[in-house]
Structure 1
Amino acid sequence: MDFGSFLSAPEIQVKVITYRDIFQDKAMFEDRFGEEYRDLSAVIKLDPADLKQLNVKKGETVILKNSFGRVVVKAEESGYETPHRGFAYMPKSPWSNILVSDETGGTGVPKFKDISVTVTSAKGEKVTELMR
């Protein structure tokens, strides 16, 4: 065994902000269980510095987890010029919904804009599959 096998993968805490995407919506209407919908929906967009800290490259999978769930999605660079370390973006989808609290504070509306998660590399794992 080498020394590296005893080290855990780096992990970071981020706040996830969900958003709507017109291309994702189009893909959902065409085939909710299709490859195009998954490729546009099962992603998290991170600051380049956060990707570097995680030692994850664009297109590799990451694990997102909190007390409400665990999901594997692909990591992408956000593309924003202004740094936003500690904040990430995900399309509203079944993958982001896994992480949403069931607590609504009496409003009946879940909190989609302030989801705290731990992110770590998921090298070798596939994106979480949807159940039909």
Structure 2
Amino acid sequence: MDFGSFLKAPEMKIRIVTYRDIFQDKAMIENRFGEEYRDRSAVIKLDPADLKQLSVKKGETVIVKNSYGTVVVKAEESGYETPHKGIAYMPKSPWSNMLVSDETSGTGVPKFKDISATVTSAKGQKVTELEL
């Protein structure tokens, strides 16, 4: 065992904004439980500086968790030119819904646009599978 195996992976607090994606919607219509839908939905888009801080490369898995749930998804660069350190984006999907509070403050609508969570590397782990 090497010394690095005792070190905890870097973890950071993030705010998640969910969004709709037309390509994800197309994949869902074709096969909600298919590989293309999972590949377009089980992702989190992070600022390049956040990926570097987490020591995560594009396409590697990360653990995203908060008091409502935990999910393993693939990390991607957001592609936005303006830095947005600490703010991440996830498509609205079963994976992002695992992190959404059931509290609606009487509106009946969950808060999809401002989810607090932590993210850390999940090297070697697979994306969370949906239970049928």
Length-normalised TM-score, structure 2: 0.98
Quote the Cα distance in structure 2 between the aligned partners of 1:35 and 1:91: 15
Query: What's 1:118 paired with?
Result: 118
1:124 CA displacement = 0.6
SS at match of 2:71: strand
Query: What's 1:102 paired with?
Result: 102
Query: What's 2:29 paired with?
Result: 29
Question: Displaced runs of 4+ in structure 1, greater than 4 A?
Answer: none
Quote the Cα distance in structure 1 between the aligned partners of 2:54 and 2:71: 17
C-alpha RMSD over aligned residues: 0.6
Quote the Cα distance in structure 1 between the aligned partners of 2:74 and 2:12: 16
Length-normalised TM-score, structure 1: 0.98
Instruction: Structure 1 unaligned segments of length 5 or more: list them.
Output: none
Q: Taking every aligned residue pair, what percent have the same amino acid on both sides?
A: 83
1:4 CA displacement = 1.5
SS at match of 1:126: coil
Instruction: Structure 2 unaligned segments of length 5 or more: list them.
Output: none
Task: Decide which moves more: 115-124 or 3-12.
Answer: 3-12
Query: What's 1:79 paired with?
Result: 79
Query: What's 1:55 paired with?
Result: 55
